Structure 1
Amino acid sequence: MILVDIHCHILPGVDDGSKDWQTSIKLARDAVKDGVTHAVCTPHMLNGKYVNHKKDVIRLTENFQDMLNDAKIPLTVFPGQEVRISGDLPKALDEDDILFLDEAGQYMLLEFPSDDVPTYTQDMVFSIMQRGITPVVVHPERNSRILKKPTILQDLIEQGCLVQITASSYVGTFGKNIEEMSRRFIEAGQCACFASDAHDLPKRQYEYSEALKKLSNEFGKEFAEQYRNNARAIVNGDDVQLNWRPLKKKTKFWFF
């Protein structure tokens, strides 16, 4: 059964994901053990610390695939980037230095700073979408500003963005608050799919299959299958439809 991971940091020596080829091979084995068959390698881009140019990521990914084939590890990898929202993004797009999740260039991972959603975000998203690009917002459940004001995400979905939640968030690896925020986004239909966001770091292992199992138990097998299908549709450049609604308001308890 095909399981696509649209977001992981398993290329060596390019960001905070994998330090060397040996670690990358280990992460690839971990991915396969977790059920992943296809993975988009998405090193950080334009995040203020890492700049991973398109041509370099393509070359590394091709080398990685050759090593996987030689090691008989049944994982197919594709080149991509986790692109930080930035004033430099339009220039990088103009210079053809941005990688997408699909060959047609429709879907692009879009990351915010961990503690903020910049004031220019909606204008930037509009500009990106004018180019025919659909941003896929990564791990909003871990963004401290969105945690405080989760309706920020709805505004972006209304603009046409898709949303990817980290599998580990939903299974509770990052704590109860992030787990509950993940559940609220999922329950409202505001998330399109999971991804591993795997790194060679504590609490950043593959928990994709565990998240899908939990999703199936809580929301049904068809719902979990839709998450699988959406991830596959994204890398194929196919349409992804969200049947979303506003978040339910949290119940308040009054004591007298």
Structure 2
Amino acid sequence: MIDTHNHILPFMDDGAADWQAALTMAEDACRDGIKTVIATPHHANGQYMNPAAEIRESVRLLNERLQGSGIPLQVLAGQEIRVYADLLDDLDRGELLTLANSRYILLEMPSSRVPRNMEEVCHELVIQGYVPVIAHPERNAEIAADPARLQRMIELGAIGQLTAQSVAGVFGGKLQKLSLELCRRGSAQLIASDAHNSGHRPFGLSEAYRVLEKEIGTDFCHYFRRNAQQILVDQEIIIVDNVNANTKVSKLFSFFSRKR
């Protein structure tokens, strides 16, 4: 499996506290069946600033320690970027990172609201050839109240990324129900761990996929897993609408042509 959102890099945000904690998280990821993670430290969220160069160096150092410890996990660079006024300018200046140097860029909204310029930012990024990835939309109060707000972003060219613990029900039945509903609506295309530590915020990606398979179907589970791979190799993701448990992968790729 591939995890496209986590906080495994130490000393950068509210994720791994030190190198040992990062290595422990890496071992947990391997036990969960994860082979590659894209590390995504918080950036510009009002508390943490993690410029691209510092993240790249931390990724290099962590990979060295993983190899020295014999832990078979690959770490790639990314960022979880809070939507802010200078985002587009900073991206042009090379100060921001996409996911694994792909066209996909991970965006975070405040949990209480959708920024007024969110659709404009998504539109501008798409025009420039990027694909906005909306982090944990199920945990945003305004989207929970009106899921159509996320759907409008998807229609503009973004994709939705759910948190594994939300899908698995760890954060409660209400968030799980909303997460699965967003899947069925075609408003979510990825599941990622958003892991912060080995305690109350672990990877748990395999359990989320098990729930997705049970609730929506094996083929759609494969679709989500394939989408993570598509990010890693910087290929387009097909957007599927109105999914249910009877949807087959062959039908997904035969009848839906909208791509991100």
TM-score scaled to structure 2, two decimals? 0.90
Q: Which residue of 1 aligns with 2:140?
A: 143
In terms of mean alpha carbon deviation, does 199-208 or 52-61 score higher? 199-208
Say whether 1:68 aligns with 2:66: yes
Say whether 1:102 aligns with 2:100: yes
Assess if the C-alpha contact under 8 Å between 1:174 and 1:203 holds in 2: no
Cα deviations by residue, 1:7-65 (Å, 9 ceiling, x for unpaired): 00010010001110010001111111111100000000111111101010000000000
Assess if the C-alpha contact under 8 Å between 1:37 and 1:74 holds in 2: yes
Q: Which residue of 2 aligns with 1:170?
A: 167
Q: Which residue of 1 aligns with 2:248?
A: none
How far apart in 1 are the matches of 2:175 and 2:194? 15
Cα deviations by residue, 1:128-172 (Å, 9 ceiling, x for unpaired): 112111101010001111111111101101101011100100111
| Cα shift at 1:201 | 7.2
Say whether 1:77 aligns with 2:51: no
Alignment of 1:27-176 (within 5 A): 27-103=25-101, 105-176=102-173
Aligned AA for 1:178? Answer: L
Matched residue of 1:102: which SS? helix
TM-score scaled to structure 1, two decimals? 0.92
Cα deviations by residue, 1:82-140 (Å, 9 ceiling, x for unpaired): 0111102022112101111133x410001101111011111111111121111010100
CA RMSD of aligned residues (A): 1.5
Structure 1 unpaired stretches of 5+: 247-256
Structure 2 unpaired stretches of 5+: 244-260
Matched residue of 1:5: which SS? strand
Matched residue of 1:109: which SS? strand
Aligned AA for 1:145? Answer: E
Equivalent of 2:240 in 230, 239, 243:
243
How far apart in 2 are the matches of 1:239 and 1:8? 22
Assess if the C-alpha contact under 8 Å between 1:46 and 1:88 holds in 2: no
Matched residue of 2:88: which SS? helix
How far apart in 2 are the matches of 1:91 and 1:47? 16
Matched residue of 1:127: which SS? helix
How far apart in 2 are the matches of 1:23 and 1:36? 17
| Cα shift at 1:184 | 0.3
Equivalent of 1:233 in 224, 230, 234:
230
Aligned length: 244
Residues 1:209 and 1:232: Cα distance change in structure 2 (over 3 Å): same
How far apart in 1 are the matches of 2:198 and 2:122? 31
Equivalent of 1:184 in 177, 181, 184:
181
Q: Which residue of 1 aligns with 2:214?
A: 217
In terms of mean alpha carbon deviation, does 49-58 or 211-220 score higher? 211-220
How far apart in 1 are the matches of 2:199 and 2:148? 30
| Cα shift at 1:202 | 5.3
Aligned AA for 1:165? Answer: L
Aligned AA for 1:162? Answer: I
Residues 1:203 and 1:151: Cα distance change in structure 2 (over 3 Å): farther
Assess if the C-alpha contact under 8 Å between 1:141 and 1:181 holds in 2: yes
Aligned AA for 1:196? Answer: S
Assess if the C-alpha contact under 8 Å between 1:173 and 1:203 holds in 2: no
Identity %: 36
Which runs of structure 1 show a deviation greater than 3 angstroms over 4 or more consecutive aligned residues?
none
